[in-house]
Amino acid sequence: MTKAETVAAQPTGSHSFQADVARLLQMMAHSIYSDRDVFIRELLSNAADACEKLRYESLKAPDLIKEGQPFSISITIDEENKRLIFADNGIGMSREDLIESLGTIANSGTRAFLERLNSAERGANGGDLIGQFGIGFYSVFMVADKVTVESRKAGSDEAWSWESDGKGTFSTRQMNLEDAPEHGTRITLELTEDGSRYASATQMEGIIREHSGAIAIPVELIAKRGSEAKRITEGVALWRRAKSEISNAEYHEFYHALAGQFDEPDLTVHWHAEGRQEYTALAFIPGSRPLDLFDPARKGRGKLYVRRVLVTSDANLLPGWLRFIRLVVDSNDLPLNVSREMIQESPIFGAIRKGIATKILQELIRTTETNQEKFAQIWQNFGAVLKEGLYEDPERRDQIFKLARFATSKESEQKRSLADYIADLRPNQTDIWYMTGENHMRITSSPQLEGFRQRGIEVLLLSDPIDAFWVETAVGYDGKPFKSATQGEVDISNVPLMEGEAQTIREPSAKVASLLAVFKQTLDSDVADVRASARLSKSAACLVASANARDKRLERMLAEHGAPISISKPVLEINPSHELIVTLSDLLDGKNQSLIEDIAWLIFDEAKLADGDMPSRPEMFTDRLMRVLMRAATGHSQA
């Protein structure tokens, strides 16, 4: 009878899953973990758990440990024999514990221990226990072809060893007490050829510091059997210490190691959050820009620890607009997947992420009030990135607006806040005016600002690429709407002229109106309209966007990046009071049609140049310019 026929012949009901244990162990060792270094973290985490368990048990039975005996973990390297020996003086294991904990995959002793604690006890005594799923131990088979575990449970007069090659079977035997630990566990790894690189003191020290540098039990490294031990970690994480106990020098030293930079941080934020989510965070704002600040691949990453054990150096803990922050977060609450290498998407993680952004924003706002000079430096370095939040994070827009500093048309080197802007509104001014452009110098010299300057109306000068995006979605600030100085028609006539300024803009005469009609007919293929301007006081013409079109700067950026958009035609605004325009209007006699058309195109192209664009048709621009110059030269010589 075939296997299928046998199964079919069985009565209906419940059945147990069948498993190929050898195959399962291979999967555990080679499929769940992508980073082989993780076995060191797992063994050190288990050792730390064992010490914490004994610490708890000794509260009820003090005789389990000698008075004053410190908990410790050691790693001994036997390079000659390609061995690693991990030892701890924790709770240890009996024969039953070895069989149950190591002989049954996914049977976590830590989990069972936690289940014994009621909620009050867990808060006081169980918070530093790391293991959850009971599979981390099997990561040793990524690098070892034989593992021996020797253990003596605290308070027991028996010691046992457990041995396996990771191929589906294990054995146990009783040990002589003389050869066993006083209490605790000793794990010996017979390294594979590929795993022999871990029999190196330099290699091991770096991995220990990286992955387990903050666990609660000190770790010592013995580079050679019989040699003196070197203390690698002290069992105290900097971020777990009280802020009052940490000097600036210690913070700065930690920042240098975390960030890989040699500047000093402009701001250090260290806090412990309690409530629905409990975590500790330490954040630094660098004193200088990282070279990859605007790398499209750069995200808001940080180091995430769970109960002081590094889970990942690449946790998505920050929104992209805070990606310059250097961050460490340590949580007791986060759920992990079985490999600990990926954080489960959970409400807890989302709440922690949200809380971190909120705290950092609060500290930045506080810095604007307490240390304006320091904040000015932070904004100089990272303002362009923070403004990305105005576009990407609408819920936090009002908070970010409190931070935002802008160059304006006021002749001042100091960047201004929106609160400063609103405090200095001119009489009858109801809008916050802005102008975008490729660079500050070009915007400052733009003809579109002339009418605003006559009336003392301050204009935000926005030259960062992100500015073209957030102004499209931001409604306003403090009840004042944002309005583009280069889009649609403007009416600023209700705002009084500054003292000493004379009215230069007049309604166009009949002749000028006729000239504008000729300009519109001539330029019809390239412009949406030609009209008299309320913006200009000195220049002859400027270009603006139609009221319903995109901002010109945004359109250019989208087109440069291959976005499937159609470029809208600009509006050519003419200063009806300009001497050139008045003179041209007097030439509308039918004899100068070609000259007026050439000048119309030249005025249009000159306006494009002022905006940073090239003439529409460079070769025709050159021909028209030469014709007009020749006409001017000929007329001058005849005169």
Question: Model confidence over 423-467: pLDDT tens digits?
Answer: 999 999 999 999 998 888 889 999 999 999 999 999 999 999 999
Task: Round to whole Å and give the CA distance between 189 and 141.
Answer: 9
Residue 368 is predicted with a pLDDT of 96
Residue 152 is predicted with a pLDDT of 96
Q: Where are the alpha helices (DSSP H) in 61-181?
A: 95-97, 109-116, 119-121
Task: Round to whole Å and give the CA distance between 345 and 337.
Answer: 10
Residue 9 is predicted with a pLDDT of 54
| 8 Å CB contact between 302 and 269 | no
CATH architecture of 381-484: 3-Layer(aba) Sandwich (3.40)
| 8 Å CB contact between 486 and 554 | no
What is the percent of the chain with per-residue pLDDT over 90, rounded to a whole number?
53
Residue 364 is predicted with a pLDDT of 97
With residue 327 as reference, give the H or E element that holds it. strand 326-331
| 8 Å CB contact between 522 and 597 | yes
Residue 578 is predicted with a pLDDT of 93
Q: What is the mean pLDDT of the chain?
A: 85
Given a cut of 80, whether residue 470 has pLDDT beyond it is yes
Beta-strand pair 541-544/480-484: unpaired
Judge if 238-371 and 381-484 fold alike in CATH terms: no
* Domain boundaries, given as residue ranges, for the chain: 21-233, 238-371, 381-484, 510-638
Task: Round to whole Å and give the CA distance between 329 and 445.
Answer: 47
Q: Which fold has domain 21-233?
A: Heat Shock Protein 90 (3.30.565)
Class for domain 238-371, per CATH?
alpha beta
Residue 130 is predicted with a pLDDT of 47
CATH architecture of 510-638: Up-down Bundle (1.20)
The pLDDT tens digits for 353-392 are 999 999 999 999 999 999 999 999 999 999 999 999 999 9
Average pLDDT over residues 130-153: 80
Given a cut of 80, whether residue 342 has pLDDT beyond it is no
Residue 7 is predicted with a pLDDT of 47
Residue 558 is predicted with a pLDDT of 78
pTM across the whole model: 0.74
Residue 296 is predicted with a pLDDT of 64
Residue 391 is predicted with a pLDDT of 94
With residue 601 as reference, give the H or E element that holds it. helix 593-610
Residue 339 is predicted with a pLDDT of 45
| 8 Å CB contact between 293 and 386 | no
